[in-house]
Structure 1
Amino acid sequence: MKNNMRISVASLFVALVFIGCQQTTYTPKPRGFFKVDFPERAYIEARTGCPFYIEIPAYSILGKDPSQNTQDCWKNLDFPQFNARLHLSYYRISASAPFDYLTEDARTFVFKHTSKATSIDQKRIQDPHRQIYGVEYAIRGNTASNYQFYISDSTTHYLRGALYFNEKPHLDSIQPVLDFLKEDIRHIISTIRWK
């Protein structure tokens, strides 16, 4: 009987090993990101209906900001291929919206990202010939917005921009697209003309 029991246990063990070896095991794959195909750069002049002209990428869509409490010259520049949006907010500098208040407001918006940012780089924008002065902010880290700017003639016109991706912030995955769009935004800045 003991012999039969040993044979039964051994047979059961061999059967379990055989069944266990037949099952496919799951091997986790490393995380990866999709390859992004960038369009060829091309720009068109956009009639904004506001006191400025800009050249925008041909693969973007300029529209009015549909949010509540927006002003007439608040625009959204959508990049559908990249699931990104550049919010553009134009203000006429006045007693109710002085230049110092507007620039400090832009700075405040940028530094709200401090808790998630690894660094915030500032670069001055100056083109006296076109009356363009401002600051460009490159916000590094997994923040909601990684690129913002404001430009002005410092007396009448003021334009602020903030780039957002409609994705959970993950800088590693958006970095190539962010670099691509930063060049487009710099082109927009370099072509702006005040009316």
Structure 2
Amino acid sequence: MKNKLAVFVLLIVFAVVGCKDENVMPKPKAMLRLDYPIAKEALLETDYFSFNYNNRATPIIKNQSAIVVDYPSMKGSIFVTHKKVNGNLNKLIADAEKLSLEHMKKADNIEPRTFINEENKVYGTYFQIIGDAASQSQFYLTDSVQHFITGSVYFYSKPNYDSILPAADYLQGDMRAIMETLRWKN
């Protein structure tokens, strides 16, 4: 009985001495930090237009009207397509806007922004798509007379907005650079 009492007292002493009165703080949630390199621009030229692109990407020229700016390390691409305007500008714009709005089924929001570069006669709209849609951003550009271009960002994975957000932001910046540096050829 004395042994049981001694063990019990010893356990209480260890419990009292072992417990320190410290403020226990929960660990903050960790977030993955992805830093992408600053883009260095390279020039891409076709028969119809030229633009600057990120030299970390690989341009794949399918033909003079279809280009893929591929980012293998991010498993994503910017698809750029050119069409000639033949009195069908309103239809081309309607089709481009319809394509962007089709993502509304899965997207939380679509934010259109008008783009105007009067000096180089480049006009259009940039669509930022927020949510689990297949494309995170799209645009169309035109000179209103001869040329019409659409562009879309796609990733080679199931859409999960939170997971691809850093890469989507990076590619959206590159997409805006393409829009800002686009020049038409006659």
For this structure pair, what is the TM-score category when the shorter chain's length is used for normalisation?
A: 0.7 to 0.9
Query: AA paired with 1:126?
Result: I
- Asked whether 1:79 is paired with 2:62, we answer no
Q: Aligned pairs, how many? A: 157
Whole-Å separation in 2 of the counterparts to 1:56 and 1:150: 17
- Asked whether 1:100 is paired with 2:90, we answer yes
1:181 offset after TM fit, Å?
Answer: 1.3
Whole-Å separation in 1 of the counterparts to 2:60 and 2:36: 22
Contact 2:112 / 2:128 at 8 angstroms: preserved in 1? yes
| One of 175, 182, 191 as aligned partner of 2:181 | 191
| One of 125, 132, 145 as aligned partner of 2:122 | 132
Contact 1:43 / 1:57 at 8 angstroms: preserved in 2? yes
Contact 1:33 / 1:173 at 8 angstroms: preserved in 2? no
Aligned to 2:137: 147
TM-score (norm 2): 0.79
Q: 1:169 to 1:32 in 2, by over 3 A?
A: farther
Aligned to 1:43: 41
Contact 1:92 / 1:156 at 8 angstroms: preserved in 2? yes
Aligned to 1:55: 52
Query: AA paired with 1:89?
Result: T
Whole-Å separation in 1 of the counterparts to 2:51 and 2:177: 9
**Residues 88-139 of structure 1: per-residue CA shift (max 9 Å, x gap):** 11011014xx111111110111111111111111100011111010000011
Gaps in structure 2 of 5+ consecutive residues:
1-28
Contact 1:44 / 1:57 at 8 angstroms: preserved in 2? yes
Q: Share of identical aligned residues, percent?
A: 27
Q: Secondary structure in 2 aligned to 1:130?
A: coil
Runs of 4+ that moved beyond 4 A: 31-35
1:38 offset after TM fit, Å?
Answer: 0.8
1:179 offset after TM fit, Å?
Answer: 1.0
1:32 offset after TM fit, Å?
Answer: 7.8
Q: Secondary structure in 2 aligned to 1:114?
A: helix
Taking only aligned residues, the RMSD between alpha carbons, in angstroms, comes to 1.7
